Amino acid sequence: MEQIPLAQPDISSLERSYVARVLQTPQLSLGPKVPEFERAVAVATGAKHVVAVNSGTSALHLIVRSLGLGEGDEVITSPFSFIASSNCLLFERVKPVFVDVDPRTGNIDPARIEAAITPRTKALLVVDVFGHPADYDAITPIAAKHNLAIIEDSCEALGARYNGKAAGTMGVAGCFAFYPNKQITTGEGGVVVTESDTIADLCRSMRNQGRATNGNAWLAHVRLGYNYRLSDIHAALGLAQMERLEKLLAARAKVAAGYAKRLSGLAASHGVELPAALPDVTISWFVYVIRLRLGTTYEQRDRVMALLREKGVCCNNYFSPIHLQPFYRELLGHKEGDFPVTESLGARGIALPFFNKLTAVQIGQVAEALVSSISAVGC
Ligand SMILES: *Cc1c(COP(=O)(O)O)cnc(C)c1O
């Protein structure tokens, strides 16, 4: 039986021709494609500045550094995320202080933030999980009251909107990522988006070995920097993807709608929870993660996933809570039970195959496999 993959990039002849054109020039890096790509992201998001880098993780790291966060500082964030949103703090010896999440969205629960604030808290690092923006109407006043910067990890949310405003632009700085399973891809890549001239300038300098951004003295380094540059080859790929963004997002939304329709019966009969947008939110569909009935254990979920894989349906457990990762347990002393909502979502979630070209027939196959696997496990 043919396997249905979990994710798959949507690459057309446009992408291939843009990349091929760069390869016909000598400018494979530091050429014109990077600023062109940055402008395309700026137009799509309304952000004043866009700084392209070689990964979403690099973008997060540069934001943390450009805010001057360091040892002794704390940043409040979510344990229900991809590990990079927390690792970027550890890079700078900043302590991640986890706060549990809203069971509907998996985003940080605003009602729990204030209890975690200490005199050392400097920022809130908010993740727009699975392309659903967090609750900024509740988060922003808390940040303002306590004079905390909001960093938005919108690596999974390019194209999402909150009250009409683009995800990524809700705080002092945000970021997107372009690994091949994201809404658009550059192979590897990411961007910082910000309204702040200072943050943008620092990020431009730090991505390029700490060079000054106004001079052209190639060997003048004004601060500690990195090589986090995105090449023109990658940027050209991203540029073609950005030109097709609306189509790509619409195709993803259509697949999500197909799943919602096909799985509504299972939701009713087996208590399976389907992803859905809260009011005032436009999801940008990154993955399609369903949750098995409340009370389902890790073991039961893993057996369902094993059966799905036997039937040729690729799937994954999004997310395995960050606070329970071995080195986080060791570093921060976390244990099971510390963040019960995160752990419940982590125990019950299954990411189903999700990509633009998933057909209605394949959606039907996934749905049937899911029904029979859940019945076999009895959860
Ligand atoms: C993908 C992702 C990142 C990091 O992106 P990379 O490009 O893989 O470094 C960061 N945070 C979240 C929430 C992500 O999903």
User: Does the beta carbon of 127 sit less than 6 angstroms from any atom of ligand 1?
Assistant: yes
Q: What are the CA-CA distances from residue 184 to residues 88, 166, 249 (Å)?
A: 22, 16, 9
pLDDT digits (tens, 9 = 90+) for 96-107: 999 999 999 999
Give residue 256's pLDDT: 98
Confidence of residue 93 (pLDDT cuts 50, 70, 90): very high
Average pLDDT over residues 208-233: 89
Nearest-atom index, ligand 1, CA of 188: 7
Give residue 57's pLDDT: 98
- What distance in angstroms lies between residue 216's CA and the mean position of ligand 1's atoms? 32
Give residue 1's pLDDT: 63
Proportion of the chain above pLDDT 70, given as a percent: 99
Mean pLDDT over each residue of the chain, to the nearest integer? 97
Take atom 2 of ligand 1 and give the residue whose Cα is closest: 155
Residue 368: pLDDT over 80: yes
pLDDT digits (tens, 9 = 90+) for 296-350: 999 999 999 999 999 999 999 999 999 999 999 999 999 999 999 999 999 999 9
Give residue 252's pLDDT: 98
The angle subtended at Cα 29 by Cα 355 and Cα 40, nearest 5°, is 50
Closest to 71 in 3D by CA, of 42, 95, 40: 95
Nearest-atom index, ligand 1, CA of 177: 7
Give residue 114's pLDDT: 98
Q: Which residues pair with 77 in a beta bridge?
A: 98, 125
- CB of 269 closer than 8 Å to CB of 293: no
- What distance in angstroms lies between residue 371's CA and the mean position of ligand 1's atoms? 31
Confidence of residue 219 (pLDDT cuts 50, 70, 90): confident
Give residue 301's pLDDT: 98
Confidence of residue 220 (pLDDT cuts 50, 70, 90): confident
User: Does the beta carbon of 179 sit less than 6 angstroms from any atom of ligand 1?
Assistant: yes
- What's the residue count for the chain? 379
Give residue 239's pLDDT: 98
Confidence of residue 30 (pLDDT cuts 50, 70, 90): very high
Q: Which two tokens stand for residue 199?
A: 């943050």
Average pLDDT over residues 215-225: 82
Give residue 168's pLDDT: 98
95: annotated active-site residue: no
Q: Of the listed 33, 122, 145, 182, which one is catalytic?
A: 182
Query: DSSP label at 278?
Result: P
Instruction: Please name the residues in contact with 314: beta carbons below 8 A apart, sequence gap of 6 or more.
Output: 3, 4, 5, 6, 308, 353
**The pTM is what?**
0.97
pLDDT digits (tens, 9 = 90+) for 263-275: 999 888 999 999 9
